Amino acid sequence: AVAAAASAAARREAFRRDPGHEHWHHGAFHDVEESVRADVRRMLHTRAEVPFQVPLEVNVVLIGFNGDGGYRYPLDGHKLEQFLKMSFPLHRPSCFETGEPIDIEHHIMYNVIAAGQPELISLEKSLKEAMVSAGTARESEYGREFPLFEVEATVVEPIFERLYSFIFDMEPGRSATEMDRPVPVAIFVVNFDKVRMDPRNKGVDLDSLMYSKINGLTEQELKKQEADYIYRYRYNGGGATQVWLSSGRFVVIDLSAGPCTYGKIESEEGSVSYRSMPRLSNIIFPRGLAAPSASSTQDIFVGQLAGLISTTIEHVIAPDIRFETVDMTLRLLVPIIVLQNHNRYNILQAGHNNSIDVKAIEREVKKMVHAGQEVIVISGSHALHEHEKLAVAVSKAMRSHSLHETKSDGRFHVRTKTYLDGAILKEEMERSADVLSAGLLEVSDPSLSSRFFLKQVCNICCMKYTGILRQFHESQYLFFITGVIYEKQFLSTTALDG
């Protein structure tokens, strides 16, 4: 009896790998090795401008599409996989620097994987526990107000990482270099049952549904699947969304969340509306609460979902690149130079509201470099008046604009706001030359000057300011993020105070 109870408990455990469990493998690299060699030979020996074919494996994980999720909607994974292969077989990224397609074309290999019912219920249980009431939200289509719940994505991310490790047999927290195997890329497409997850409904025992049969829905129950509430995600307190990118190698698309809107109403490109993501409620009930017909919507939903997956690949998994050629250096020097026009405090010292955490910057930079690259981050503070060319550049970049505001007296008031124009400041600094590099290196670490520069080069070394300008409105600091120094070429990170 004890053995039978233990066996039953084991069967009710989600994410359990029993002997004989089907193993996932990188088919894109294991099965097409010979075709990769042929593509290399063809690219090297042909005179035509033929891009190099690189296999890209994309794993689409369907959660809640076995007739056990929202609307009890069943989705044929094989049909979706074949449609993706026929409709979006190739993707060729472009380069922002040149505006031309790069010499690599991805041959996309799709794997559509269906998650089981125990994993679905485990995810719903974790999500229900993480929901926090956030007032009310207005429905986008009809304007009705519903209770709003928000989910911190970092709280539920570990359960998705557990599902990722379960499906792909990957040890969590280990890199591809440590495991000596390629790390898969996954897109989780989620269809939760909002009625089961309703945080206001305490009478639903999700544990009992782990392995029991989930019954179908009547027509009236189908109409109530939205459960009269809205939930959405926030990643580290960011903007509300129903799609979020994890810290690992997967992205989550929750079709039950939201809908969320972002951007200008009159803008089409770059904005997110309540129609951007496919919703089963709009597909099953295309004209309000008409007679539901889930079986006849397969083709429409597969087309919309395939388009969403293709967009995810183009913008997240294999996006366009910034530079056509990236120099791989072994030594990387990142100077952080602060220019300020006061002596009230030092921004590089901790204890102020606007202090810069140099150690945190160094940790983040080390996450972005490749294995074997050495990173050195140094910092220094200089008075702006000691560098007249930079002071002139800042002065030329000063701009002002007028704001018309309505006060409590009902009248318009004009207020002038002064700001630094980032584009003009970048252009002015590109024309400026300033000898900050050698002195900063010498003060920080005398050995770095001889290590990164030749002595005859140091005497004529000049700094080039290029990059991205970021303004902190709550203070008077401007950070000019520009790049790094490697070998004999010098780019730097500069901060302006004042």
**pLDDT tens-digit map of 120-148:** 999 999 999 999 999 988 876 677 889 99
265, 286, 317 - which closes a domain: 317
Check: pTM over 0.75? Answer yes or no: no
φ, ψ for residue 118 (rounded to 5)?
-60, -40
Contact residues for 476 (Cβ-Cβ < 8 A; gap 6+): 497, 498
pLDDT at 490 over 50: no
368 occurs within a structural domain: yes
155 occurs within a structural domain: yes
* Placement of tokens 């008077």 in the chain: 476
pLDDT at 289 over 60: no
Contacts 24+ apart (CB under 8 A), 470-475: 471/419, 471/420, 471/422, 472/354, 474/353, 474/354, 475/353, 475/354
N-term to C-term CA, the chain:
76
**Same domain, residue pair 150 and 221:** yes
384 occurs within a structural domain: yes
Tokens of residue 130, six digits:
């993480």
Distance CA 55, CA 60 (A): 16
262, 294, 317 - which closes a domain: 317
**Same domain, residue pair 307 and 341:** no
- The confidence band for 457, taking pLDDT boundaries of 50, 70 and 90, is very low
For residues 173 and 82, which has the higher predicted lDDT (pLDDT)? 82
Domain that holds residue 445: 331-497
For the ranges 220-229, 240-249, 411-420, the lowest mean pLDDT is seen at 411-420
Say what the pLDDT of residue 320 is: 92
Say what the pLDDT of residue 400 is: 87
Q: State pLDDT tens for residues 398-451.
A: 888 887 777 777 677 788 888 888 888 888 877 765 555 555 556 556 666 666
For residues 33 and 100, which has the higher predicted lDDT (pLDDT)? 100
For the ranges 72-76, 245-249, 361-365, 433-437, the lowest mean pLDDT is seen at 433-437
12 occurs within a structural domain: no
**Same domain, residue pair 353 and 219:** no
For the ranges 282-296, 299-313, 382-396, 463-477, the lowest mean pLDDT is seen at 463-477
For residues 381 and 468, which has the higher predicted lDDT (pLDDT)? 381
**Same domain, residue pair 281 and 346:** no
**Same domain, residue pair 351 and 302:** no
168 occurs within a structural domain: yes
pLDDT at 479 over 60: no
pLDDT at 151 over 90: yes
**Same domain, residue pair 293 and 154:** yes
156 occurs within a structural domain: yes
Gyration radius of the chain over CA positions:
28
287, 317, 347 - which closes a domain: 317
For residues 479 and 237, which has the higher predicted lDDT (pLDDT)? 237
Task: Compute the mean pLDDT over every residue in the chain, rounded to the nearest whole number.
Answer: 77
Say what the pLDDT of residue 482 is: 39
**Same domain, residue pair 383 and 473:** yes
**Same domain, residue pair 26 and 76:** yes
Contact residues for 387 (Cβ-Cβ < 8 A; gap 6+): 339, 434, 436
Say what the pLDDT of residue 352 is: 80
**Same domain, residue pair 361 and 218:** no
Tokens of residue 174, six digits:
């280990």
**Same domain, residue pair 89 and 182:** yes
Distance CA 166, CA 202 (A): 29
Say what the pLDDT of residue 324 is: 80
- Total domain count, the chain: 2
Mean pLDDT of 381-389: 81
- The confidence band for 176, taking pLDDT boundaries of 50, 70 and 90, is low
pLDDT at 211 over 60: yes
**Same domain, residue pair 437 and 477:** yes
10 occurs within a structural domain: no
For residues 165 and 411, which has the higher predicted lDDT (pLDDT)? 165
Computed from CA positions of residues 9, 11, 16, 21, in that sequence, does the dihedral angle turn out positive or negative? positive
Answer for the pair 255, 279: CB distance below 8 angstroms, yes or no: yes
Percent of the chain with pLDDT over 90: 28
Ramachandran area for residue 298 (φ above 0: left; ψ -120 to 50: alpha; else beta): alpha
Mean pLDDT of 151-155: 95
Percent of the chain with pLDDT over 70: 71
211 occurs within a structural domain: yes
Ramachandran area for residue 446 (φ above 0: left; ψ -120 to 50: alpha; else beta): alpha
For the ranges 159-163, 297-301, 347-351, 427-431, the lowest mean pLDDT is seen at 427-431
pLDDT at 298 over 90: no
**Same domain, residue pair 345 and 391:** yes
